[in-house]
Chain A
């Protein structure tokens, strides 16, 4: 096998442009799956925008200690790696037209250049964020070659609560494709029956499982959508006089009573938005460099 990923010969990198706890838990889950296979904390690099004070208790609760960095340091840190044959990079968090919604945003060209700047023989990139297709159709053949997997093309990427998926701090609205991808890494399945656990198996597993989940998530969220919309409408009528003030004033500048109302209103709007985005989304994964993906085996 040209490329054999083991617990010790590969650097694992997570990148997330998000301050949402759920996106950090996507990474926490991924790390716990890797550790099941014997990957050490020191070989796991997390570049994230999540608040540091909140990251620590979530890592501690799960007994993991990956190396933490800011997304702006990605290229510099990857260039300094040593002793690895391969690099696997997974993205969570938000995506946008220009690439990853990190601070500052990371463009497709910037991400690929950072990975190719690492002294490795192969770069594997798994893009879980929305609009991952903006990373599609890059030159994947120039050395070091890249294998790129996108959870979705130019549309949204599903995050939802998933039966059987939890970390020590409970369930979360998981990026479905990433969750299944890392579930596969934690317990690989030979999908195509060729006797090997290849990256192609992982791609098919995550893609099919996500596709199966999507209609159920839509039905579940669709059922609740009218009630969530009614709740937002009712709150808007009830607090019409202060609506804009409550939506735009920082919490610390409000009285406790106003904070109570603001907390309820913003949560109702967020809850509605989350549900609506699932109901009206579509998702189709893609891969780049299919010839090479068959030659990447795990564990």
Chain B
């Protein structure tokens, strides 16, 4: 997720946006916004050309995904979700 835009990263860390694994697509992740839009990302955090889904309901949403941050701040807990994807 090194190329995930910092604004998106910030919103995922606040759970305003959510990041999930996609069942059947081991190298893809679903980013879901607060408005219910879905973006399919690759492991670098860039929009993937495939697969494409017309809505969240159509996507095979898997587990909650996240990452471990090494940044300590006054506001965000140091542990953030990501099952094992260290960035």
A contacts, CB < 8 Å to B: 19-22, 25, 51, 53-54, 57-58, 60-61, 160-166, 168-173, 216-217, 220, 231, 250-252, 256-257, 259-260, 263-264, 266-268, 270-271, 274
Contacts and interface: CB of A to CB of B under 8 A. Distances in A.
Contacts of A60: 63
B34 A264 contact: no
A271 B18 contact: no
Interface in B21-49: 31-39, 46-49
Given A171-B77, A251-B37, 9 more contacts: A19-B34, A54-B20, A57-B64, A60-B63, A161-B14, A165-B77, A171-B13, A220-B74, A263-B8
**Main SS at interface, chain B:** loop
B8 A163 contact: no
Contacts of B57: 51, 53
A58 B54 CA distance: 22
Contacts of A170: 13, 15, 66, 77, 79-81
Contacts, number: 130
18 contacts: A21-B34, A22-B16, A54-B56, A162-B75, A169-B64, A220-B74, A231-B7, A250-B37, A252-B52, A259-B39, A259-B47, A264-B7, A266-B35, A267-B11, A267-B33, A268-B7, A270-B11, A274-B16
Which of B16, B34, B54, B56 has the largest count of A CB atoms less than 10 A from its CB?
Answer: B16
A19 B36 contact: yes
A171 B76 contact: yes
Given A53-B56, A161-B77, A256 B32 contact: no
Contact of B39 (A54, A168, A263): A263
Which of B20, B34, B53, B79 has the largest count of A CB atoms less than 10 A from its CB?
Answer: B34
A263 B47 contact: yes
How many B residues are at the interface, by size bracket?
35 or more
Nearest to B83: A61
Given A163-B74, A264-B5, A171 B80 contact: yes
Contact of B47 (A58, A173, A256): A256
A267 B49 contact: no
Given A161-B75, A170-B66, A251-B37, A270 B56 contact: no
Given A54-B18, A61-B63, A256 B13 contact: no
A55 to B, nearest CB: 10
